[in-house]
Protein backbone atom coordinates (compact mmCIF):
# COMPACT_ATOMS: atom_id res chain seq x y z
CA UNK A 1 0.00 0.00 0.00
CA UNK A 2 2.87 2.36 0.75
CA UNK A 3 4.23 2.00 -2.76
CA UNK A 4 0.81 2.70 -4.27
CA UNK A 5 0.39 5.75 -2.05
CA UNK A 6 3.83 7.11 -2.94
CA UNK A 7 3.21 6.68 -6.68
CA UNK A 8 -0.19 8.37 -6.50
CA UNK A 9 1.18 11.30 -4.48
CA UNK A 10 3.97 11.73 -7.03
CA UNK A 11 1.47 11.67 -9.90
CA UNK A 12 -0.39 14.48 -8.16
CA UNK A 13 2.78 16.56 -8.03
CA UNK A 14 4.04 15.86 -4.52
CA UNK A 15 7.73 15.50 -3.78
CA UNK A 16 7.87 12.17 -1.98
CA UNK A 17 10.21 10.63 0.58
CA UNK A 18 9.69 6.94 1.30
CA UNK A 19 11.29 4.98 4.13
CA UNK A 20 11.63 1.28 4.88
CA UNK A 21 14.01 -1.37 6.18
CA UNK A 22 13.57 -3.16 2.82
CA UNK A 23 16.30 -1.43 0.83
CA UNK A 24 15.80 -3.20 -2.51
CA UNK A 25 12.04 -2.72 -2.59
CA UNK A 26 12.37 0.90 -1.47
CA UNK A 27 14.94 1.77 -4.10
CA UNK A 28 12.84 0.04 -6.75
CA UNK A 29 9.85 2.23 -5.90
CA UNK A 30 12.11 5.29 -5.82
CA UNK A 31 13.38 4.49 -9.32
CA UNK A 32 9.91 3.80 -10.70
CA UNK A 33 8.66 7.18 -9.49
CA UNK A 34 11.68 9.12 -10.71
CA UNK A 35 11.71 7.38 -14.09
CA UNK A 36 8.10 8.38 -14.72
CA UNK A 37 8.70 12.08 -14.03
CA UNK A 38 8.09 12.22 -10.30
CA UNK A 39 10.43 13.26 -7.50
CA UNK A 40 11.19 10.62 -4.89
CA UNK A 41 13.89 9.99 -2.30
CA UNK A 42 14.30 6.66 -0.52
CA UNK A 43 15.75 6.62 2.99
CA UNK A 44 16.39 3.60 5.17
CA UNK A 45 13.95 3.87 8.05
CA UNK A 46 13.35 1.64 11.05
CA UNK A 47 10.07 3.06 12.33
CA UNK A 48 10.69 1.73 15.84
CA UNK A 49 13.89 3.81 16.16
CA UNK A 50 13.75 7.46 17.22
CA UNK A 51 17.20 8.10 15.74
CA UNK A 52 16.15 6.58 12.44
CA UNK A 53 13.11 8.85 12.31
CA UNK A 54 15.25 11.92 13.09
CA UNK A 55 17.58 11.02 10.23
CA UNK A 56 14.68 10.48 7.82
CA UNK A 57 13.06 13.83 8.64
CA UNK A 58 16.44 15.56 8.39
CA UNK A 59 17.02 14.03 4.94
CA UNK A 60 13.57 15.20 3.86
CA UNK A 61 14.21 18.80 4.90
CA UNK A 62 17.68 18.75 3.38
CA UNK A 63 16.34 17.55 0.03
CA UNK A 64 13.02 19.36 -0.26
CA UNK A 65 13.14 22.21 2.28
CA UNK A 66 9.99 21.47 4.25
CA UNK A 67 7.48 18.83 5.29
CA UNK A 68 3.74 19.11 4.67
CA UNK A 69 2.44 15.55 4.96
CA UNK A 70 3.34 12.41 6.90
CA UNK A 71 1.82 9.02 6.12
CA UNK A 72 2.53 6.39 8.78
CA UNK A 73 2.08 3.24 6.72
CA UNK A 74 4.48 0.58 8.07
CA UNK A 75 2.88 -2.47 9.65
CA UNK A 76 3.21 -6.19 10.29
CA UNK A 77 0.65 -8.90 11.02
CA UNK A 78 0.83 -12.49 12.24
CA UNK A 79 -1.80 -15.12 12.96
CA UNK A 80 -2.35 -17.13 16.12
CA UNK A 81 -3.97 -17.10 19.53
CA UNK A 82 -3.22 -15.13 22.67
CA UNK A 83 -1.69 -18.19 24.29
CA UNK A 84 0.82 -18.86 21.54
CA UNK A 85 1.92 -15.23 21.27
CA UNK A 86 5.37 -14.78 22.74
CA UNK A 87 6.44 -11.63 24.53
CA UNK A 88 9.00 -11.06 21.77
CA UNK A 89 6.26 -11.21 19.11
CA UNK A 90 4.03 -8.91 21.15
CA UNK A 91 6.81 -6.35 21.44
CA UNK A 92 7.72 -6.61 17.74
CA UNK A 93 4.18 -5.96 16.55
CA UNK A 94 3.56 -3.12 19.00
CA UNK A 95 6.95 -1.55 18.23
CA UNK A 96 6.31 -1.39 14.49
CA UNK A 97 2.56 -0.81 14.37
CA UNK A 98 2.02 1.48 17.36
CA UNK A 99 5.35 2.88 18.52
CA UNK A 100 6.28 3.60 14.90
CA UNK A 101 3.22 5.82 14.48
CA UNK A 102 4.00 7.64 17.72
CA UNK A 103 7.63 8.26 16.79
CA UNK A 104 6.81 9.37 13.26
CA UNK A 105 4.15 11.76 14.48
CA UNK A 106 6.33 13.17 17.27
CA UNK A 107 9.29 13.71 14.94
CA UNK A 108 7.27 15.25 12.12
CA UNK A 109 5.20 17.73 14.14
CA UNK A 110 7.93 20.38 14.61
CA UNK A 111 8.55 20.49 10.85
CA UNK A 112 4.83 20.56 10.06
CA UNK A 113 4.51 23.46 12.49
CA UNK A 114 7.35 25.30 10.73
CA UNK A 115 5.55 24.77 7.41
CA UNK A 116 2.44 26.45 8.80
CA UNK A 117 0.50 23.24 9.34
CA UNK A 118 -0.03 20.00 7.53
CA UNK A 119 -1.61 16.58 7.53
CA UNK A 120 -0.73 13.29 9.20
CA UNK A 121 -2.42 10.14 7.94
CA UNK A 122 -2.05 7.01 10.04
CA UNK A 123 -2.79 3.65 8.47
CA UNK A 124 -4.72 1.62 11.01
CA UNK A 125 -7.00 -1.27 9.96
CA UNK A 126 -10.50 -2.60 10.44
CA UNK A 127 -8.65 -4.68 13.04
CA UNK A 128 -8.45 -1.50 15.12
CA UNK A 129 -12.24 -1.34 15.27
CA UNK A 130 -13.36 -4.96 15.65
CA UNK A 131 -12.22 -8.20 17.24
CA UNK A 132 -11.07 -11.05 14.99
CA UNK A 133 -10.21 -14.70 15.40
CA UNK A 134 -7.88 -15.03 12.41
CA UNK A 135 -5.09 -12.66 13.54
CA UNK A 136 -3.19 -12.31 16.80
CA UNK A 137 -5.02 -10.16 19.34
CA UNK A 138 -1.91 -8.01 19.68
CA UNK A 139 -2.36 -6.96 16.03
CA UNK A 140 -5.86 -5.73 16.85
CA UNK A 141 -4.46 -4.01 19.94
CA UNK A 142 -1.75 -2.27 17.93
CA UNK A 143 -4.21 -1.01 15.33
CA UNK A 144 -6.65 0.07 18.01
CA UNK A 145 -3.80 2.05 19.56
CA UNK A 146 -3.23 3.80 16.23
CA UNK A 147 -6.92 4.67 16.02
CA UNK A 148 -7.21 6.35 19.42
CA UNK A 149 -3.72 7.89 19.28
CA UNK A 150 -4.82 9.57 16.05
CA UNK A 151 -7.86 11.14 17.69
CA UNK A 152 -5.91 12.45 20.66
CA UNK A 153 -3.14 13.90 18.49
CA UNK A 154 -5.76 15.52 16.26
CA UNK A 155 -7.28 17.35 19.24
CA UNK A 156 -3.91 18.41 20.63
CA UNK A 157 -2.63 19.94 17.39
CA UNK A 158 -5.78 21.19 15.63
CA UNK A 159 -5.07 24.72 16.83
CA UNK A 160 -1.71 24.63 15.09
CA UNK A 161 -3.16 23.72 11.71
CA UNK A 162 -2.00 20.10 11.89
CA UNK A 163 -4.69 17.59 10.99
CA UNK A 164 -4.41 13.92 12.01
CA UNK A 165 -6.66 11.19 10.60
CA UNK A 166 -6.61 7.42 10.30
CA UNK A 167 -7.40 5.05 7.43
CA UNK A 168 -8.80 1.59 8.13
CA UNK A 169 -8.35 -0.84 5.23
CA UNK A 170 -10.09 -4.18 5.10
CA UNK A 171 -8.92 -7.07 2.92
CA UNK A 172 -6.48 -5.56 0.40
CA UNK A 173 -4.46 -7.35 -2.29
CA UNK A 174 -0.95 -6.86 -0.90
CA UNK A 175 1.99 -9.14 0.01
CA UNK A 176 0.85 -8.97 3.65
CA UNK A 177 -2.29 -10.85 2.61
CA UNK A 178 -0.58 -13.59 0.60
CA UNK A 179 -1.48 -16.33 3.09
CA UNK A 180 -5.15 -15.62 2.45
CA UNK A 181 -4.84 -14.88 -1.25
CA UNK A 182 -3.01 -18.17 -1.81
CA UNK A 183 -5.66 -20.20 0.01
CA UNK A 184 -8.80 -20.52 -2.18
CA UNK A 185 -11.00 -21.43 0.79
CA UNK A 186 -9.85 -18.44 2.88
CA UNK A 187 -10.27 -16.13 -0.10
CA UNK A 188 -13.80 -17.39 -0.79
CA UNK A 189 -14.70 -16.82 2.85
CA UNK A 190 -13.26 -13.30 2.77
CA UNK A 191 -15.19 -12.42 -0.38
CA UNK A 192 -18.40 -13.90 1.05
CA UNK A 193 -18.00 -11.71 4.15
CA UNK A 194 -17.59 -8.54 2.08
CA UNK A 195 -20.74 -6.73 0.94
CA UNK A 196 -18.89 -5.70 -2.24
CA UNK A 197 -17.83 -9.32 -2.69
CA UNK A 198 -14.16 -8.81 -3.48
CA UNK A 199 -10.71 -7.90 -2.20
CA UNK A 200 -9.68 -4.25 -2.39
CA UNK A 201 -6.79 -2.88 -4.41
CA UNK A 202 -3.92 -0.85 -2.91
CA UNK A 203 -4.80 2.04 -5.20
CA UNK A 204 -8.27 2.23 -3.64
CA UNK A 205 -6.65 2.84 -0.25
CA UNK A 206 -4.19 5.30 -1.76
CA UNK A 207 -6.99 7.55 -3.01
CA UNK A 208 -8.38 7.77 0.53
CA UNK A 209 -4.94 8.65 1.89
CA UNK A 210 -4.54 11.29 -0.82
CA UNK A 211 -7.85 12.88 0.14
CA UNK A 212 -6.90 13.11 3.82
CA UNK A 213 -3.48 14.52 2.94
CA UNK A 214 -4.88 17.18 0.65
CA UNK A 215 -6.56 20.54 1.21
CA UNK A 216 -9.82 18.98 0.00
CA UNK A 217 -10.12 17.48 3.51
CA UNK A 218 -9.29 20.77 5.28
CA UNK A 219 -12.23 20.40 7.71
CA UNK A 220 -11.46 16.78 8.55
CA UNK A 221 -9.38 15.83 11.59
CA UNK A 222 -9.60 13.07 14.17
CA UNK A 223 -11.63 11.00 11.73
CA UNK A 224 -11.34 7.37 10.70
CA UNK A 225 -11.89 6.44 7.05
CA UNK A 226 -13.05 2.86 6.53
CA UNK A 227 -11.94 1.39 3.18
CA UNK A 228 -13.21 -2.13 3.60
CA UNK A 229 -15.86 -2.94 1.01
CA UNK A 230 -18.56 -2.46 3.64
CA UNK A 231 -17.23 -5.14 5.99
CA UNK A 232 -17.56 -3.15 9.22
CA UNK A 233 -20.98 -1.78 8.24
CA UNK A 234 -22.48 -5.20 8.92
- Active site residue ranges: 139
- Candidates 126, 142, 137; CA nearest to 205 is 126
- Burial track 7-44 (b if 16+ CB lie within 10 A, e otherwise): bbbbeeebbbbbbbeeeeebeebbeebeeeebebbbbe
Angle value at C-alpha 97, between 76 and 162, nearest 5 degrees: 135
Angle value at C-alpha 127, between 126 and 128, nearest 5 degrees: 85
How many CA atoms lie within 13 Å of 81's alpha carbon, on the beta-carbon side?
2
Amino acid sequence: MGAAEAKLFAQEGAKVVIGDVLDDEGRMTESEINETGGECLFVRLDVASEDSWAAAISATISRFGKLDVLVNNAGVVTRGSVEDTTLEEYDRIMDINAKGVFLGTKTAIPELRKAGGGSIVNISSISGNIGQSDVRAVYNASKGAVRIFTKSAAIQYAGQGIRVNSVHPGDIDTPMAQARLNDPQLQREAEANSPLGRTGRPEEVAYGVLYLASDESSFVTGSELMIDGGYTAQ
